[in-house]
Amino acid sequence: MSPRSDPEFFDARYRADPDPWNFDTDWYEIRKRTLLLAMLPHPHYRAALEPGCANGHITTELARRCDHVTATDIAPRAVELTRARCREQPNVDVQNWGLGRIWHWENIFDLVLLSEVTYYLPADALTLAIEDMAAHLRPQTTVVLSHWRHTEKDHHLDGDEATRIALAALPHRSAARYVDDDVRIEVVTTVP
């Protein structure tokens, strides 16, 4: 398999299996979600953006801590699955949008969660996407970058490379960091 960025690839995975990464049961996935949610510096946020929401496991948790969550995925089936999981959470809006596409929103967010999504963009596209995102965020926004640290054939970048490239494109100060053999989680605060 070669690196992938096309929505059709991801959509086909969800159509073959509604939980293609075993988010329900895999201990890595459960532990990662727990860690990154525990690392958020504030108990409550006004407006979160979550590109790459998959089937909504993190979205539904974020919705308990945010006035509003905008969750997005490039796979239409993932959008449907997240809408279904969050159907009783009216503060969740799920859209078919991809990191790297034209920015959709006013600068409303005080939390952006990029979990296991940036390495689906090539390096140059990731830099442009994060620079564009940074131009639409206010200072003091919490941004979380969480990545699997092992090589995958469908990733353009490994987790540490993706983290480095994203952080280089985002004016920030570090708020928290967690690293083990499997996952790297960086929590930063945007600066002017």
Query: Checking DSSP bridges between strand 111-115 and strand 142-148, what pairing results, if any?
Result: parallel
d(CA 175, CA 91): 27
Regarding 117 and contact with ligand SAM (CB under 6 A), the answer is: yes
Q: Given candidates 47, 48, 74, 157, which one binds ligand SAM under the rule CB under 6 A?
A: 74
Q: Which is nearer to ligand SAM, 72 or 163 (CB)?
A: 72
Three-state secondary-structure class, residue 65: coil
Report the nearest approach of ligand SAM to the CB of residue 15 (Å): 12
Measured from the Cβ of residue 11, the count of other Cβ atoms closer than 10 Å reads 18
Q: Given candidates 52, 85, 111, 162, which one binds ligand SAM under the rule CB under 6 A?
A: 52
Binding mask 75-114 for ligand SAM (x = CB under 6 A): x--x-------------------xxx--------------
Report the nearest approach of ligand SAM to the CB of residue 119 (Å): 9
Q: Given candidates 71, 85, 111, 120, which one binds ligand SAM under the rule CB under 6 A?
A: 120
Separation in Å, CA 30 to CA 34, 37, 65, 100, 192: 6, 11, 18, 27, 34
Regarding 119 and contact with ligand SAM (CB under 6 A), the answer is: no
d(CA 102, CA 117): 17
Regarding 159 and contact with ligand SAM (CB under 6 A), the answer is: no
Inter-residue contact 142 to 111 (CB < 8 Å):
yes
Q: Which is nearer to ligand SAM, 51 or 159 (CB)?
A: 51
DSSP 7: H
